Amino acid sequence: MKKNKELREAGTKLKTMSRAEYRERMEWFREKARLDYNTGISSAKKQGKLEDAKKMLEEGIELEKVMKITGLEKEEILSYK
């Protein structure tokens, strides 16, 4: 029931919104989606690098070499273990 009320209110707001307000709102949503996507990609890349670093250390590769290969800081690598 609450959801139906919220949908009706949103529909009413959309009908009364000017074209400029609508375009501005849509631009905001696009920018938010872009930023969320980029944040997710960056997080996944870093997670992958951390997993690779862990495997390299397990294989006996020196920490300094792991840092150079992954581009990660010593603290990041050691805190992931």
Supply the pTM of this predicted model: 0.61
Hey, how many other C-beta atoms are within 10 angstroms of the C-beta on 17? Answer: 13
Q: Are 77 and 53 in contact (CB under 8 A)?
A: yes
- For the chain, first and last CA: distance in Å? 48
User: pLDDT tens digits for the chain (81 residues)?
Assistant: 677 888 888 878 777 878 888 899 899 999 999 999 999 999 999 999 999 999 999 999 999 999 999 999 999 999 986
